[in-house]
Amino acid sequence: MKATLLVDQQLVIKPGKFQAIVKVYEVEKSEKFPQGIKAKLLLQDIEHEKPRLLIDNHEPYGFHMHTKLPDDHSLRIELEIETYQEAMNVFFDEVERILKNEETPQK
Amino acid sequence: MKKHHKNSIAIDVYFQSLESFKKKIENAISKREKLLQPSSEVYFESVAEFRKFMTFHKFELLSAIAYRKPNSIYELAKLLDRDFASVLRDCVALAGVGFLVLEEKKDARGSKAPKLPFAYSVIRIHFPNNSHQMEFNLAA
């Protein structure tokens, strides 16, 4: 089964600042993709044209989080989750945390 | 900016909360239904965020790209009589959202030409809950 693009959605969250970009592919169910779902959940920093947060589950990894892109692709935080629903929850919770921190002046 | 007739090619602006964005995606995945956003649609989290984003300068910039077709951001800045850095910043922001694309030119400097992603001439705003629509003509 060829990977089929299932979801391609974008939402501007903070004007000129952040955009949430979600791409989901339907793939063959396998050990790596037990739900047959390959997902890329990205919070893009529009102003600096770089990813601020990325959660994906490309091979050979399960769901993991990148927080130092584009400088450090090798830094992956493994997420102990199995499903895309959990990945979505982690992503959107983290997005809300980032937005909250942006609004709060750093001490 | 003024209202425009209905037959123009438009880019449509919609509003959606982060929560409903998430629900829409989860629903599509669970039903294995395709949910592909066309390039003619842009989603903002709220009307307030859109108003903050779409400044007069950005609107004027889109209008200049649509009708005066500059070959570079530098040329666009000259057309608008604005400084290059602020025009570049506006172009990057508009490109990030999908209102324009920055096409790499095949010159030695690797400069970029600002273009509309398709030949739209109207920005159509769909206010929440289908309450009403408003259209802004780039030719205005």
Q: Is the peptide bond before B117 cis (omega within 30 degrees of 0)?
A: no
Interface test with A, best of B26, B41, B42, B45 (most A CBs within 10 A): B45
- On the 0-12 / 13-18 / 19+ scale of CB atoms within 10 A, A67 is middle
Closest CA to B11 of B51, B39, B46: B39
> What is the predicted pLDDT for the residue at A87?
93
> What is the predicted pLDDT for the residue at B7?
57
Interface test with B, best of A7, A44, A63, A98 (most B CBs within 10 A): A7
Q: Is the peptide bond before B128 cis (omega within 30 degrees of 0)?
A: no
Q: Tens of pLDDT along B48-82?
A: 989 989 999 999 999 999 999 999 999 999 999 99
| Of the partner residues B25, B50, B98, the one whose CB lies closest to the CB of residue A22 | B25
Nearest chain A Cα distance for residue B120, angstroms: 19
**Which chain A residues touch B97 with a CB distance below 8 Å?**
12, 19, 46
Phi, psi (deg, nearest 5) at residue B58:
-70, -40
| Of the partner residues A11, A16, A49, the one whose CB lies closest to the CB of residue B43 | A11
ipTM (interface pTM): 0.85
| Of the partner residues A6, A9, A95, the one whose CB lies closest to the CB of residue B37 | A9
Q: Is B47 on the interface with A (CB under 8 A)?
A: no
B10-137, CATH topology level: Arc Repressor Mutant, subunit A (1.10.10)
Can you give the residue ranges of every domain in chain B? 10-137
d(CA B106, CA A93): 42
B73: Cβ contacts below 8 Å, ≥ 6 apart:
B84, B87, B88, B91, B102, B111, B112, B113, B114
Identity of residue B107: D
Decide if A13 and B35 are in contact by the 8 Å CB cutoff.
Answer: no
Three-state DSSP class for B136? strand
User: Parallel, antiparallel, or unpaired for β B101-104 and B41-44?
Assistant: unpaired
Q: Tens of pLDDT along A39-90?
A: 999 999 887 888 989 999 987 778 888 877 677 667 777 888 889 999 999 9
Question: Are B88 and B100 spatial neighbours (Cβ–Cβ below 8 Å)?
Answer: no
Can you give the residue ranges of every domain in chain A? 4-103
